[in-house]
Amino acid sequence: MKTMLEIRGLHAFYGQSHVLHGVDLDVRQGEIVSLLGRNGAGRSSTLKAVMGMLRSSGSVRFKGVELIGRKIFQIARHGLAYVPEERAVFPTLTVQQNLLLGQQRERVAIEDMWQLMPQLAARKHVAAGLLSGGEQQMLSLCRSLMGKPQLIMVDEPTEGLAPHMVQAVAQHLLALRAQGLGVLLVEQKLDIALEISDRVLVMGHGRIVFAGTPHELRANPAVRQKWLEV
């Protein structure tokens, strides 16, 4: 499958603080790539740097176009969606209104979204603030899909969710992959990441310290112990 996102030698900074030290990463069409690591490893910063939210250097190419130096809204229009860790739903707006806010120039019919997420369809006129944490996470994901992205970056979507909702999020990501989207997933839950990913990358201290298949990571207790287990 075609490579969509190509990150080479990415460095990123919060003010004077240098947090990414030459990250290389690819995401192809129709694959789920997970970024794993302990807290502070640099996973969220990688997603933010791709979205143009951090000062960065190196190269981030999406469908061949260099994104470094572009503004957030320009990057989003290229078909790259980002679902941050903080579930950003507007609590007083209805589910439907929240979804409509996600529309870009390229539009997805809202009916397609209801089909993808029947639980949300049943509650389309409910204020988003009244949804459960899991439902808000789904809404956040669905809103980012309204702009018809080709690649979606999702930061810890299962954080704080009940086990059945964790499975629902995982199934949802697999459904997106089946539609040909690329998914770059930051995940804390190793079992879920290993279950749904095509490839996994482990980060430590702002660098990629392991890259391989879920099978290769399962077979590598040294990497898990050094970089993942607490």
Ligand X SMILES: Nc1ncnc2c1ncn2[C@@H]1O[C@H](COP(=O)(O)OP(=O)(O)O)[C@@H](O)[C@H]1O
137 lies in the binding site for Mg ion (CB under 5 A): no
44 lies in the binding site for Mg ion (CB under 5 A): yes
Closest CA relative to residue 149, chosen from 175, 173, 181: 181
> To the nearest 10°, the Cα dihedral for 71, 183, 103, 62?
40
Q: Do the beta carbons of residue 151 and residue 27 sit within 8 Å?
A: yes
Beta sheet of 207-212, edge-to-edge order: 80-83, 151-155, 182-186, 32-36, 199-204, 207-212
CB of 156 to Mg ion, least distance (A): 6
The residue (of 135 and 155) whose beta carbon lies closer to ligand X is 155
CB of 161 to ligand X, least distance (A): 18
3-state DSSP of 105-141: CCCCCHHHHHHHCHHHHCCCCCEHHHCCHHHHHHHHH
The residue (of 148 and 205) whose beta carbon lies closer to ligand X is 205
Q: Which stretch binds ligand X (CB under 6 A): 11-19, 73-81, 143-151, 158-166?
A: 11-19
Q: Choose from Mg ion, ligand X, none: what does 16 bind? Cβ within 5-8 Å by kind.
A: none
Please give the DSSP secondary-structure letter assigned to residue 94. Answer: B
CB of 59 to ligand X, least distance (A): 19
Cβ partners under 8 Å of residue 171, min gap 6 = none
CB of 207 to Mg ion, least distance (A): 16
CB of 43 to Mg ion, least distance (A): 5
Question: Which position among 39, 73, 105, 178 is part of the footprint of ligand X (CB under 6 A)?
Answer: 39
91 lies in the binding site for ligand X (CB under 6 A): no
Q: Do the beta carbons of residue 112 and residue 85 sit within 8 Å?
A: no
Residues in the chain: 230
Q: Choose from Mg ion, ligand X, none: what does 184 bind? Cβ within 5-8 Å by kind.
A: none
19 lies in the binding site for ligand X (CB under 6 A): yes
Q: Is the dihedral of CA 157, 27, 198, 203 positive or negative?
A: negative
The residue (of 135 and 187) whose beta carbon lies closer to ligand X is 187
Tell me how far apart the alpha carbons of residues 116 and 211 are, in angstroms, rounded to a whole number: 31
46 lies in the binding site for Mg ion (CB under 5 A): no
The residue (of 41 and 76) whose beta carbon lies closer to ligand X is 41
The footprint of Mg ion on residues 93-132 (CB under 5 A) is none
Tell me how far apart the alpha carbons of residues 127 and 95 are, in angstroms, rounded to a whole number: 6
Binding site for Mg ion (CB under 5 A): 44
Binding site for ligand X (CB under 6 A): 14, 17, 19, 37, 39-45
